Structure 1
Amino acid sequence: MRKAALRKEFLQKRKDADERWLIEKNALIAQNLEKYIQGNHFKTLHTFLPQLGSREVNTFFIIASFRIAFPTLRITAPYIIPGTRDMEHFLVTPFTHLITNQWRIPEPEPLTSERILPEKIDIVLVPLLAFDRQGYRVGYGGGYYDRFLPQTRPDCIKMGLSLFEEVDKIADIDEYDIPLDACITPERLYDFKS
């Protein structure tokens, strides 16, 4: 299937999902991610923050649980530079002031938050709607992460989080699409590097 059709299909799947199902799937994703993080020595994790009302993977739940499980792990989130398709990245602590941008996405307030350079990030949690068996993803179409991911170190892990399992193949991949290294769903970890 092509990206546009997959985007439409998976947005509808999320919209139709039962609230109890979403809570259960988010908890399972957080558990699977915690197991993965325990087996690695990450110092800085970058995560997207969920768009309000979108029924995205609840990364606020992940952040809260990781503050307890991994107290030394630094957690960062993006801030979209207004009028561009570029992002800066800021530390998220219990004291970080979040603002909501024009797309209803919470972001760290850049004037009061500590900026973190992309090369300091060890793992990026990448937003997506669908992903395929080769590790390619369908995002929201803005290209923000396609611009950001090349700024990270080559050994930085690009980790998708998905409420749903993989599709067979995304038909219209282009040279700007960067494959994930791995993806976590409620059911399992997909490792695309091995």
Structure 2
Amino acid sequence: MATKNELRQHYLEKRSKIPFEKINKWSKKINERFLSLKDLETAQKIMSYISMRKEVNTYPLLETLIENGFKLYLPYTLKKEGTLGTAQINNLDLDLQAGVFGVQEPKRELRNKKVPGDLDIIIVPGAVFNKAGYRIGYGGGYYDKFLAEHGQSALKVAFAYEEFIIDDFPVEDHDIAVDMIITQTDIITIEN
């Protein structure tokens, strides 16, 4: 079986070759599926990642969530602690700045040291996922640490292109599975 690092490299390389036209088409379908979730009827606080490179494009979804009155939280990297912080965002044009690893992050003045204890939904990025809901991220372990500390009661949702869900890969004790994976063709509920 390939190592996590080999799988990460393989799937990031594969993803980099997908044309933007497909990315936008698939992302639109994934975002629509997310917005159709029954869980949104009772959710108030949603944390999401900000897409980069050829990840599922979250920008239109984030705009919609803000417009519809959800409290939207976006992550920033706490490099020393090896985890993430969150800040509430009200305007994607005004509230973001370039951060660690070239990712857009909430501006410093919006950052609060305390992560809300009542996040309803956390949208989690990843390079590749398995059918049990585990993910291979980008190698820093930031999300696993964050989810272990703050994700117990939240619905953990991953966005992935269908061909980036594989049967199996090595899972470690600290890995945290998501509850649901949304692809351009399906919503997969994980039975944990």
TM-score greater than 0.5 by the shorter chain: yes
1:83 aligns with 2:80: yes
CA shift in 2, pair 1:98/1:188, >3 Å: same
| Cα distance in 2 for residues equivalent to 1:23 and 1:175 | 35
Equivalenced residues, count: 189
Aligned-pair CA distance for 1:186: 0.7
Amino acid paired to 1:62: L
Partner Cα distance (2:112, 2:69) in 1: 16
User: Corresponding residue for 2:119?
Assistant: 121
Deviations 1:144-192 (A, max 9, x none): 011100222532111111123420101x211011111111111111100
| Residue equivalent to 2:43 | 42
Confirm or deny that 1:60 pairs with 2:59: yes
Which residue identity does 2:66 align to in structure 1? Answer: R
Deviation at 1:82, TM superposition (A): 4.3
Which deviates more, 3-12 or 130-139?
A: 3-12
Secondary structure in structure 1 of the residue aligned to 2:87: strand
**CA, structure 1 residues 150+38, in 2 after alignment: closer, same or farther (shift >3 Å)?**
closer
The answer to whether residue 179 in structure 2 is matched with residue 181 in structure 1 is yes
1:86 deviation in Å?
2.1
Counterpart in the other structure of 1:26:
27
The answer to whether the Cα contact below 8 Å between 2:118 and 2:154 also exists between their aligned partners in 1 is: no
CA distance in 1, matches of 2:109, 2:66: 23
- C-alpha separation between the residues in 2 aligned to 1:153 and 1:22? 28
Which residue matches 2:130? 132
Q: Does 1:93 align with 2:90?
A: yes
- Unpaired segments ≥5 residues, structure 1: none
Distance in structure 2 (CA, Å) of the matches to 1:48 and 1:178: 16
Write the distance in 1 (CA, Å) between the matches of 2:4 and 2:172. 11
Instruction: Name which of 79, 102, 105 aligns with 1:104.
Output: 102
Q: For residue 85 of structure 1, report the CA deviation from its aligned partner.
A: 1.2
The answer to which of 177-186 and 75-84 deviates more is 75-84
Please say if residues 134 and 192 of structure 1, whose CA atoms lie closer than 8 Å, have aligned partners that are also in contact. yes
Rounded to whole Å, the distance in 2 between the matches of 1:46 and 1:91 is 9
Residue 187 of structure 1 aligns to which amino acid in structure 2? T
SS at match of 1:90: strand
Q: Are residues 141 and 185 of structure 1, via their aligned partners in 2, closer, same or farther at CA, if it must alter by over 3 Å?
A: same
- Separation in 2 of the partners of 1:37 and 1:61? 20
Letter aligned with residue 90 of structure 2: T
Calculate the aligned-residue CA RMSD, in Å.
Answer: 2.0
- Whether the aligned pair in 1 keeps the contact of 2:77 and 2:100 (CA below 8 Å) is no
Q: From the superposition, tell whether residues 17 and 30 of structure 1 become closer, same or farther in structure 2 (CA, over 3 Å).
A: same
